[in-house]
Structure 1
Amino acid sequence: MIDSAISDMLLENKEHFLIPASSVATVQEDNSLMHAFLVLNKVRYSKIPVLRGDDELVGLLSMPMITNEMLGMEDLDTDVLDKKCVGDVMEKNVPAIENPYDVEEVMHLLVDNPFLPVVADHNEFTGIVTRKEWMKSFNFLVHNIDKQYKLEPIKQSEPANH
């Protein structure tokens, strides 16, 4: 469990954690791979959320997922980009969070993910939380904790003589 003082300091900049859905590039699961290829190429993100219908998060898509579909043993088949859709190649069962301010859960999941999709009821996509923003808060913490708290080492007990 994270100490409450640490948690409080990490959350001092919490208004910057959630990047709202309206500011995040996404694709629909029924979009062609050509469309997704163009979107990913334009925004230059490593992965983007995949949505269904009324903003329901259903997965993530990356450029390697698309290019893997194009690669054959002898050549590059770009025709597949018009034949397949995002839902055919996307990563499913992705980690998503409901509370972008649950310090313990977010920090644990950001170890292996550059960002986390944030969802509301019925898996409605509401935005993302990025590792970059959390690292800014962690940087603030390590440079300022001694300005807000008196830190002292816990006295170590001497080893017992056996």
Structure 2
Amino acid sequence: MNIAFFITPKHESVCLEKDATMRQALEKMEYHRYTAIPIVDKQGRYVGTLTEGDLLWKMKNTPNLTFEGTNKISLKKVPKNMSNHPVSINAEIEEVVDLIMKQNFVPVVDDQEIFVGIITRKSVMSYLRNIAAEEIGNTDNLRSVSSM
């Protein structure tokens, strides 16, 4: 199965340019209540993922850095400790499932490495839940198990 069904397109996703500041990242992540966010370059290519942990470690390891000072630090200067591996728009679902077990989301890129969107763990889990419900034939039993 092709992954197009699962993609949240770029225009519906939240991402940051790599030239953004720590403050912009903190505010965007707080507003959307995200713990990680894709980073793209000026051409729209996926270049990595920024996490709350990356920001916290940068703050911890930067003497005298205040929240006010975060507006002067580019994301390029924030070491990234997590690597969310992207998949091609032409990937099959099996490749995504392998990654989604380790990542909250999987970035999706086209043939030129341009960021086209993300696949969330929630979308894959919902799909798998629906398949399991169909096989079981009783969604009420599956709902009671999933609410535990």
Deviations 1:65-98 (A, max 9, x none): 1122222599763354133211222537530001
Distance 2:76 2:134 in 1: 45
Measured at CA, do residues 137 and 30 of structure 1 come closer, stay the same or move farther in structure 2, by a change above 3 Å? same
Deviation at 1:119, TM superposition (A): 0.2
Query: What does 1:90-109 correspond to in 2, within 5 Å?
Result: 91=80, 94-99=84-89, 102-109=92-99
Contact 1:26 1:50 in 2 (8 A): yes
Partner of 1:121, secondary structure, is: coil
Contact 1:115 1:131 survives alignment (8 Å):
yes
What TM-score comes out, normalization by structure 1 length?
Answer: 0.73
More off after superposition, 114-123 vs 76-85: 76-85
Partner residue of 1:125 out of 95, 98, 115: 115
Question: CA contact under 8 A between 1:56 and 1:124: conserved in structure 2?
Answer: yes
The residue type paired with residue 46 of structure 2 is L
- Provide closer, same or farther for how the CA distance between residues 65 and 141 of structure 1 changes in structure 2, counting only shifts above 3 A: same
Cα deviation, residue 121, structure 1 = 2.1
1:50 match: 39
Partner of 2:16: 27
Match of 2:144 in 1: none
Structure whose CA Rg is larger = 1
Listed as ranges, the gaps of 5+ residues in structure 1 are 1-6, 148-162
Q: Secondary structure at the match of 1:122?
A: coil
Q: How far apart are the structure 1 equivalents of 2:110 and 2:4?
A: 18
TM-score (normalizing by structure 2): 0.79
CA 1:41–1:59: 2 relative to 1, 3 Å: same
Q: Which moved more, 1:59-68 or 1:19-28?
A: 59-68
Q: Deviations over 1:97-131 (max 9, x none)?
A: 01376121111111101110000022100000011
Q: Tell me, what secondary structure is at the counterpart of 1:123?
A: coil
1:111 aligns with 2:96: no
Question: How far, CA to CA, are the matches of 2:78 and 2:119 in structure 1?
Answer: 24
Higher deviation after alignment, 101-110 or 89-98? 89-98
Separation in 1, partners of 2:65, 2:21: 17
Matched positions, count: 136
The answer as to whether partners of 2:16 and 2:25 remain within 8 angstroms in 1 is: yes
For 2:39, what is the secondary structure of its paired residue?
Answer: strand
Which sections of structure 2, spanning at least 5 residues, go unmatched? 138-148
After TM superposition, the structure 1 stretch with the greater mean CA deviation from structure 2, 43-52 or 78-87, is 78-87
